[in-house]
Amino acid sequence: MKNKLANFEKNLEYTFKDKNLLIKALTHTSSSQENNEVLEFLGDSVLNLIVTELLLEKFPNENEGFLSLMRSKLVSRKILNKIANDFKLEEFLILGESFKNQKIPEDLLGNALEAILGSIFLEKGLQPLRKIFKKNFNKEISLLSKSDLKNSKTILQEYCQKNKFNLPTYNQIKKDEKLNSFVVICRLNEDLQSVGQGKNLKCAEQDAAEKLIKEIKIING
């Protein structure tokens, strides 16, 4: 375990003083009662602050609407999962028997990344987090296109209005306790629908809309 933790710290470019805190951040609820759920909750708030600071530094003259949309893109599960993969986080997660011989759901990676953020914040505050994650988020900012800066629900609604379709509906199917996330279905009609998942209803609806947009593009060539 000691070598494994050291390898993750090398990927992260941060060394924990309290190794037990790192172990807790990597431990999913399926494995132990001493898990990363509270650290994830803390990390979610810390993440929003770090990304907000970065955006204000990078775009000092932009309005609140632009900054808010940029932040929502950067803290999305899609981006967090991507950054988690950059750190090879999947190799270090501590999971319960229910995940044995299964492909690890990507959302677990983003959740664990938030827990890592929370744990570093408890040890050293914001400064090391700014250093660690600035490079990752600057890279993601540079990859965002203009079309990315419209949220998926808006894009889908505009598509429906332009093509004289009924507006999409969003309904919560369930709350997935195992993944600590919400599941939502987005419908245009009987044939066009998609299921989205996110840490809250808003994120789940955006995910469902994004998937439906991709499906429409495939159908329309």
44 is catalytic: yes
What confidence tens digit (pLDDT) does each residue in 48-85 have?
999 999 999 988 988 787 788 788 888 988 899 999 99
* Residue, of 162 and 120, whose pLDDT is higher: 120
Q: Is the pLDDT of residue 179 over 70?
A: no
Domain interval for residue 85? 2-145
Catalytic residue chosen out of the listed positions 40, 106, 114, 205:
114
Verify that 74 and 9 share a domain, yes or no: yes
The total number of structural domains that make up the chain: 2
Verify that 129 and 198 share a domain, yes or no: no
What confidence tens digit (pLDDT) does each residue in 2-55 have?
788 899 999 999 999 999 999 999 999 888 888 999 999 999 999 999 999 999
Verify that 64 and 123 share a domain, yes or no: yes
Q: Which of 145, 162, 191 delimits the end of a domain?
A: 145
pLDDT confidence of residue 45? 95
Q: Is the pLDDT of residue 101 over 90?
A: no
Percent of the chain with pLDDT over 70: 94
Verify that 36 and 97 share a domain, yes or no: yes
pLDDT confidence of residue 124? 94
What CA–CA distance (Å, rounded) separates 114 from 101? 25
Q: Which of 161, 175, 158, 167 is nearest to 192 (CA)?
A: 167
pTM summary value: 0.69
**Mean per-residue pLDDT for 78-106?**
87
Verify that 9 and 62 share a domain, yes or no: yes
Q: Which of 111, 126, 145 delimits the end of a domain?
A: 145
**Mean per-residue pLDDT for 174-183?**
77
**Mean per-residue pLDDT for 93-113?**
85
Verify that 166 and 181 share a domain, yes or no: yes
Reading the block at residue 185, the tokens are 């279905």
Verify that 51 and 112 share a domain, yes or no: yes
Verify that 45 and 120 share a domain, yes or no: yes
**Residue 132 DSSP class:** H
